[in-house]
Structures are given as C-alpha cells and as structure tokens.
Amino acid sequence: MSYLDIEKRYKRGPQIITRKDAAVIVSETGLCPQWKCLDLGGGSGFLSLFLANLVPKGSVTTYEKKKEHAEIIKNNVKLSGFKNVKVINKPAERFAGKGFDLVTADMKGTEKLVKKIHTALKLGGYFAVYSPHIEQQMACKKTMEKVFKKIRTIETIQREWKIDTRGFTHPVPSQVVHTGYVTIARK
C-alpha cells in the first residue's frame, strides 16, 4: 500500500495543491516525522493529508473557514484513517497555538497573517505559502521580508516524456504547464 492508494479515496472540493508542489515544501524544509504542522486554508485537505502521512509522530492542524469545505476535509481525514489531523472550521485569522515546525498557507489574504505566523513558529521553523499567482507571492514576500531572513520563491515545472524504444521520443505533447509558486522562509 502506497500513500497514492490512500489518496485515491479522497473527494475533491476546492482546487487542490499538486503533489509536485507539495513535494517541494517537503524537500525544501526537510520535514521530519515528529513535526507539528499548521495548514491554513485547508480546502479539500490534500496538502494537510500529504503532510500528515509524513509526520506520523507529529501532527497537522488545519483551519478552513467554509463549513462545506471543512466537511470535505473531515471526510477525507476519515477516509485516510490518519489520527494526527485536526480540522478546525474557523477563519485562519483566528488560528491558535505556538511552537509549530511548519506553517503552510494556500488561501487568499495570507500576507495579512505573516507576522502572526512568524510568532507562532519555533526558532528554525519554516513558513511555506502556495498560490497560483505571482502577485500573491509578491504581496507575501513584501511582509515576509520584515520578519523572515531566508526567503525563496520556487516554481516547479514537471514535464513527462513519451519514450518509444522502437521509434521517436519526445515530451508528452499536451501537459499542464503552470500550477503555482511556493515561497518558503525560515525563522
């Protein structure tokens, strides 16, 4: 059984983060199994659950303001069988708690929460913000620069190839080119 077999069970509501973009958060932070994570703008719960699978000794708390989306996440948590995810149906602006190793955000208006997120992180903790639009990343970076030091913005482009060992080889002609950007900062 792979995590991908578990993920197939989930229902989709709002647009999810792709695995390649979730993976860059993992690779650029060095996520560890005991990490305490906070995910703001839970959506369909795909990012929360992707992280939860990788922090079996830790936890993921997610805030989702819309009741119907929070219900989708709760149902997906049930389908995953994971016990380390807490879903809170409240606006992210009201998140509580401190000592997080990782805070992720995939929602409009994240830039207004940067200072609060910085305070809630452990020293050495990471903040990763995902969005499909560079303007949202720029708005976040402007505020991040006031409190964080190492800040990087990454776009991960993945191209699949069709390899024909008896004929011609080329990239699969029609593919998704753009998904989004991830800006990562460390406290």
Ligand X SMILES: C[S@@+](CC[C@H](N)C(=O)[O-])C[C@H]1O[C@@H](n2cnc3c(N)ncnc32)[C@H](O)[C@@H]1O
Binding site for ligand X (CB under 6 A): 14-17, 41, 43-47, 63-66, 69, 91-93, 106-109
Closer to ligand X by CB, 45 or 58: give it: 45
Residue closer to ligand X, measured from CB, 77 or 144: 77
Q: Give rounded-to-5 percent helix, strand, coil for the chain.
A: 35, 25, 40
- Closest distance to ligand X from the beta carbon of 15 (Å): 5
Cβ neighbors of 102 (< 8 A, separation 6 or more) are 25, 29, 31, 35, 36, 37, 38, 51, 125, 126, 127, 128
Least spacing, CB of residue 38 vs ligand X, in Å: 12
Separation of alpha carbons 142 and 124, rounded Å? 20
- Closest approach of ligand X to the CB of residue 95, in Å: 9
Closest residue to ligand X, judged by C-beta, is 43
Q: What's the min distance (Å) between Cβ of 93 and ligand X?
A: 6
* Nearer Cβ to ligand X (35/50): 50
CB-nearer residue toward ligand X: 119 or 149: 119
E strands in 106-146:
121-131
